[in-house]
Amino acid sequence: MTITTAMVMAAGVGSRMRPLTDDRCKALVEVGGKALIDWTLDTLAGAGVTRAVVNVHHFADALEAHLAARTAPEILISDERDQLLETGGGLARAAPLLGREPIFTANIDALWVDGTQAELPRLADAFDPERMDFRLMLARLDHTLGFDGAGDFYLDADGRLTRRGERPAAPFAYAGVQVMNPGVLAGRAAAPFSTNRLWDEALAKGRMFGQVMDAFWMHVGDPQARDAAENRLRSIS
C-alpha cells in the first residue's frame, strides 16, 4: 500500500522543551541544524506522501511562514489557534482534509535514521484496512533515546497490540507514527480528546496492530534529548 496523505501533529505548546520553546513552537526546534517539522516532512515525502495536513497553535504564524517555503509535500493547515484540541480532537478537526484512504499520522518529536529498509513503507505495506484501524510503529525500549517510560504495548504473534495496563513494564513504546483508517473519525466532534480514546475502541475490536522498528528511535521531547539526538546523529554521519 502506498499512502499519500499524512497528518502531522505540530500544535503542542512544547512545555517540556523549554527554554527552547520560549520563542518558537516545538516543531521549529532544530536538531542537527534542521527543524523537527522538516525531519518529519522529509521522511514522509521520502515514503511517497504528497500531501500533509499540519495542525498549528503555538507560534502558529511563524510555523506557517516556515512551511510556506517548502515545496514537498503539499502542506494544508488545520488551524487550532482558537483552542488546542489534543491529539484526537486535532485529528477530528482535520478530518475534512484527510480524505477516506489510510493515512499516516506523525508526531514531530519522533526521529530516526532509516537503515537498509525504510520504516514508513514497511509500516504501510502490511496495513490491511479489512482487519485494521491502526498500525503503530513501535520501538524496543533498549533501542531508544529520550524515552523514560515503562513501555506502552505488548505485541501478539499475529501483530495485534495489547496495552501494558497494570503490568510494571511492556517491551515496546509507541514511536510516534501510525497508519490510521480515517473512518474512525466519523461523527467525532472537534473537541479536546486524546487519540487514546480511538485506540481503546480499536483495541476492544481487535483492530489495532503494530510493527517493530529496525531503526534506532529518538524521542526528542526535551532539551536533553535534543542534545543527545544531535550527538547520536554526529556519531553516525
Rounded CA separation 102/2 (Å): 9
Q: How many folded domains does the chain comprise?
A: 1
User: Please, what's the b/e burial string for 98-128 (b: 16 or more CB within 10 A of its CB; e: otherwise)?
Assistant: beeebbbbbbbbbbbebeeebbbbbbbeebe
Mean pLDDT, residues 83-108: 97
What was the pLDDT predicted at 66?
A: 98
CATH number for 126: 3.90.550.10
Q: Which segments within the chain are labelled E, that is strand? A: 5-9, 30-31, 34-35, 51-56, 74-79, 103-107, 110-112, 134-140, 144-145, 153-155, 161-163, 172-180, 208-212, 217-219
Rounded CA separation 119/137 (Å): 8
Strands 172-180 and 161-163: unpaired
pLDDT band of residue 236 (cuts 50, 70, 90) is confident
What was the pLDDT predicted at 57?
A: 96
Domain containing 100 equals 5-236
Residue 200 pLDDT exceeds 90: yes
10 Å Cβ neighbour count for 25? 25
Which amino acid is residue 175, in one-letter code? A
pTM over 0.75: yes
